Amino acid sequence: MAQGEVGKVRSPWVVIILSIITIGIYGLYWQFATFKEMKDYSGRGIGGGLGLLFAILISIVNVFVMPSEVGNLYAADGKEKPISGLTGFWVLIPLVGGIIWVVKIQGRLNEYWVSHGAPVAT
C-alpha cells in the first residue's frame, strides 16, 4: 500500500460549526480535503477533485462513499472497519443525522491519522 503524508486531525464540531456559519461552503472544502488526504495517503479512492464534484452535483453519493473509504483505510491495515458505506444512512435521521454522520466519520478518521503519526489536535 502506498503511504503518503497522513491527513489532518480535525475536530468534528469545528467542521459542523464552520459548515453552518459558511452556509455549507466549509463542508464542501472539508469533503474535498478529506478525500484528497485519503487518496494522497493510500493511493486509493476518488480523491479531492472527484469528491468535490460529487459534493456539488450529487452529494448523496459522498454520504456513502466517504465512510466507505475511511473503513477501507482500516481494512488495508488488516483491521476491522469501524465504519462502512452503511454509515451514510445516519443522514436520514431528521435534524441530527448529519451531525452524527460527521462525528462518526471525522472521529474514525482522526483515530486513524493519529495511529499513523499525525499530531493530536489540541
Sign of torsion over alpha carbons 68, 70, 73, 78: negative
Residues 11-27: pLDDT tens digits? 999 999 999 999 999 99
Whose cell is 452535483? That residue is: 57
State the pLDDT at residue 15: 97
> What is the mean pLDDT of the segment spanning 62-70?
97
* 2 pLDDT above the threshold of 70: no
